[in-house]
Amino acid sequence: MTSLLATSIYADAYGWLFPAAATLAGVATGIALGAGMHRLLSGKLKRWPIALLLLFGPLIGALWGGLVALLATPALPWGGDGLAVVAAGFAGAAQLGWFWFPYTMLRIRGRGAWVVVLLAMVAGPLLGYLGTHAAFGVAGLGRIM
């Protein structure tokens, strides 16, 4: 859902193929990311300092968002867009950065994380959308979309 909303900025100008491709890429890579995080959370990550964990949320989110856009850019009419990758990096950092740390800490401590997951389902798409638009605004390209 976040990938669809975040990339909808392209839909007005170029159609819905790119947002659809980003959504599929987001789902596929999100499943892999979730499985990888589970392995990390049940392993050595338990012993890392909290300050170091705090840095990883936005970093992993930026990498994930950029990967989603990179996988989806072939669906754009011109076959690629570095700006989409950067914008998706911002969106991923915004989405995963605020969600990942509380979720990680709850899971490491063996507590239920359903409240954080529910909040992510509600706020995540909006943060992804706002992160993408913020990236376009910083780049000064929001006016052409």
φ/ψ of residue 81, rounded to 5: -160, 105
Q: pTM of the prediction?
A: 0.69
pLDDT at residue 105 in the model: 74
* DSSP string across the chain: -HHHHHHHHHHHHH-SHHHHHHHHHHHHHHHHHHHHHHHHHTTGGGGS-HHHHHHHHHHHHHHHHHHHHHHHGGGSTTS--HHHHHHHHHHHHHHHHHHHHHHHHHHHTT---HHHHHHHHHHHHHHHHHHHHHHHHHHT-GGG-
pLDDT at residue 114 in the model: 83
pLDDT at residue 23 in the model: 83
pLDDT at residue 142 in the model: 47
d(CA 70, CA 43): 30
Low-confidence ranges of the chain (pLDDT < 50): 142-145
